[in-house]
Amino acid sequence: MIYHFLAAAFAAVFTISSAISATPEIQKPSDIPVEAFAALSTFNNAKLAPSGKTLAYVTSEDGRNMLMVHSLDGGPSYSIPPQERSEIKDFYWINEEIILLKLYMVRNRLEFNGAVSEIHLMAYNLKTHKVKWLGKPEKASLTRSTLAQRTPQVERIVDLLPNDPERVLLAFDFELDGKTEVYRTNVYNGRRRLDKTGNDGVQQWFSDHQGEVRLGVGFKIEGFGDAGKPFAMLKGANNIWRDLERADWYKTYNVRNFTADPNVIYVSGTNQFGTTGLYTLDLRTGEITGDVFVQKGANFDHLITEKKTKKVIGVAYTDTAEHVKYFDPFYAGLQDNLNKAFSGSSNRIVNKANAVERYVILSHNSQNPGTYYLYDKDKGQLSALSNVRDDMPTALMAPVSAVQIPVRDGSQIEGFLTKPANWADGNTLPFIIFPHGGPETHDNADWDWWVQFYASRGYGVLQPNFRGSTGYGKAFQEAGTLQWGGLMQDDVTDATNWLISEGLADAKRICIVGASYGGYAALMGAVKEPDLYQCAISVNGVSNLPSMKERDKRFIGGKNWITDMGLEGAPDKSVSPYHLAEKITIPILLIAAKDDARVAQDQSKDMHKRLKKLKKKSKFIGIKTGAHYLQTAPARLKVLKATEKFLAEHIGR
């Protein structure tokens, strides 16, 4: 781990370089061991304690995440080890003694007849080194026969209450019935006092600048067999709660945050350019009162707030990459200097101490996983903290570029093209088509361990942001609704054909690879385009659509969200790879984690059995742990090794 602090005078332009050089043992990308790509970050999610004297960050040990606490003023440093049967998802400084751990775990629960993913909140005392589970139920939850639909145990942070060093607002659903309550919880002893009673239909609560709970969202079930309609309720300045589904403005805009004025809120919605903008809205009139962020070709992502005061100081937005725009003059000036110093990178002020002017800064790009810096305003110093991955030679990473891809209806989609570092223009390459999961997400040009590994082995990689992806406006995203195996799949096919027509891909050496929904797209690519791809790989992917939808019905809101899954006007079996297995003629590799609570491992197991029964070329590899998102290094290593071997066999040189 790099613990040195390279002091430098703060000026208009920084001069620190963070590139990691190649070593004598590693002179070309293929020399980088697969273990380096599979490894978890060695320094990530760095956050300052309120005093600014201590820094905590996520690192890894034995392939799992753990927390390090490091004194910046010469004091002791120590670790918070991984908690039993869970992975650290995030953490928060409450005061100088208490860190709130947000833990992800997978549990087999009778209430759900199988594995579910849960979030638990633990208070870690840095003095006693003891852990207190803040969401521990006082009694056992109900049995599975009580309700047809339930929610997993997801403990949520409503408000960290920065002006109260001993308490936080947390939301718990102890009965697992989707009726979440808010408690003012003591982080030292776990004692809690009811702050907001539960309401039918509310699974998530949000508070305003004063720590008052004023917004609830979720799904409301009005009777047996009901799909669970989206539901939201808001408390106005007159302390009266109202159902937002009846407000005309709520049909157009989404609530994003509160302002200091209880009568004014931040909302987002489609702007005149077809992308997502941010506005202020007066609750008394239901009218928009101001444009906060409206920009052609850019989508508002989320608000940036000052931790101590909750004041909105900027926005994060996306065009071909992720950016930030600050309204606060000091932050805007600091951001401008960062962009000048680290041009070509995405630069963010990720954290600030409460008591002193110390800031944590992250700079990253497609070839650098990231470098963290500490800026001390009072001393006028910028110091390098550490690289996100201290064993990854950035000089050998493959370049990534945004490309515009024409599709069959005459429009265009964006994709991200990764070329191997030693690729000579004019040569065709074996290519991997890598559709993302979700599908309600999007790829960008950020460094990606999976993509960079394939590029290091000589493959080109294309990540198409097909219709249904986020980040391109409401209309683009909604175009993917009920287009599983339809328009979304056609966009992936068109992107593949574009690669060939551009003379980039060797038409006889293309494999489609994906995880989750991307795994579904890989299998459907094999079904619909048997002559376009030479192989397909699905990791934790959906193969049996009817079975997947039937499983999702168990969760509150599930009957609602599965209405977007499938192909409009067609039976689910007609776009389900399992039910179309006889059409597959290319080799298939199926990889799935046993502890995947989102897509059951049986989806891949059953697909493999059906393919083998039909005398198709299929291989199944099981992973014991790592869950849906491959959260451990051993899980990632197994995936990379297995897919490297499979790709070399079918599209390698």
Cis peptide before 439 (omega within 30 of 0): yes
* Ranges 35-39, 429-433, 649-653: which has the least confidence: 649-653
Do residues 111 and 554 make contact, with C-beta atoms less than 8 angstroms apart? no
| CB 335 within 8 Å of CB 326 | yes
**Residue reference for tokens 């208009």:** 12
Average pLDDT over residues 383-387: 93
Nearest Cα to 422, choosing from 459, 394, 447?
Answer: 459
Give the mean pLDDT of 428-441.
95
pLDDT value of position 287: 94
Query: Which pLDDT score is estimated for 16?
Result: 40
Q: If phi over 0 gives left and psi between -120 and 50 gives alpha, with beta otherwise, what is residue 437?
A: beta
Among 39-48, 58-67, 76-85, 489-498, the minimum mean pLDDT is found in 76-85
CA-based nearest residue to 474, from 291, 200, 254, 189: 254
What pLDDT is recorded for position 154?
Answer: 83
Low-confidence winner among 44-58, 68-82, 472-486, 591-605 (lowest mean pLDDT): 68-82
CB 170 within 8 A of CB 122: no
pLDDT: is 147 or 230 the higher one? 230
For residue 398, the 8-state DSSP code is P
Confidence band of 561 (pLDDT split at 50, 70, 90): confident
Q: Is 141 helix (H, G, I), strand (E, B) or coil?
A: coil
Q: Which of 216-220, 298-302, 555-559 has the lowest mean pLDDT?
A: 555-559
Task: Give the residues across from 121 on adjacent strands.
Answer: 102
Quick one: DSSP state of residue 173?
-
Q: Is the pLDDT of residue 450 over 60?
A: yes
| Rounded CA separation 196/214 (Å) | 10
Cβ neighbourhood burial of 220 (10 Å; 0-12, 13-18, 19+): buried
As a whole number, mean pLDDT of residues 444-468 equals 96
Is the pLDDT at 423 greater than 50, yes or no? yes
Q: Which amino acid is at 58?
A: V
d(CA 104, CA 555): 18
pTM of the model: 0.90
**Sequence-ordered list of residues with C-beta below 8 angstroms from that of 249, at least 6 positions apart, any chain:** 267, 281, 286, 287
pLDDT of the residue at 5: 30
DSSP label of 618: E
The pLDDT of residue 145 is 41
pLDDT at 140: 59
Tokens of 17: 């370089």
Distance CA 108, CA 113 (A): 7
What is the pLDDT averaged over residues 397-413? 96
What mean pLDDT comes out for the span 369-374? 95
Q: What is the pLDDT of residues 469-523, one digit of tens each?
A: 988 888 899 999 999 999 999 999 999 999 999 999 999 999 999 999 999 999 9
Residue with tokens 């992806």: 469
Starting from the edge strand earliest in sequence, which strands make up the sheet with 229-235, in order?
204-207, 213-220, 229-235, 241-243
Q: How many CB atoms lie within 10 A of CB 503?
A: 11
> Whole-number mean pLDDT of the chain?
89
Look at residue 410 in the predicted model and tell me its pLDDT: 96
Q: What is the pLDDT of residue 148?
A: 57
Percent of the chain with pLDDT over 70: 92
Q: Domains in the chain, please, with CATH?
A: 398-650 (3.40.50.1820)
The encoded tokens of residue 97 equal: 């003694």
Mean pLDDT of the 306-316 span? 89
Quick one: which of 651, 652, 650, 621 has its CA closest to 638? 621
pLDDT for 611 equals 97
Tell me the C-alpha distance between 556 and 364, whole Å.
38
Any idea which of 15-24, 301-310, 324-333 has the lowest mean pLDDT?
Answer: 15-24
278, 290 contact by CB (below 8 A): no
Residue spans of alpha helices (H) in 92-133: none
pLDDT at 157: 94
Q: Are strands 505-515 and 535-539 parallel, antiparallel or unpaired?
A: parallel
Query: Tens digit of pLDDT for each residue in 205-259?
Result: 999 988 999 999 888 876 555 556 788 999 987 888 989 988 899 989 999 999 9
Residue 79's alpha-carbon distances to 58, 84, 100, 102, 631, in angstroms, are 10, 15, 14, 16, 20
Rounded Cα gap, residues 357 and 349, in angstroms = 12
Please report, rounded to a whole number, the percentage of residues in the chain having pLDDT higher than 90.
Answer: 65
Contact (CB, 8 A) for 448 and 436:
no
Could you tell me the pLDDT band of residue 323, with boundaries at 50, 70 and 90?
A: confident
Distances (CA, A) of 611 to 565, 602, 642: 24, 14, 19
pLDDT at 226: 56
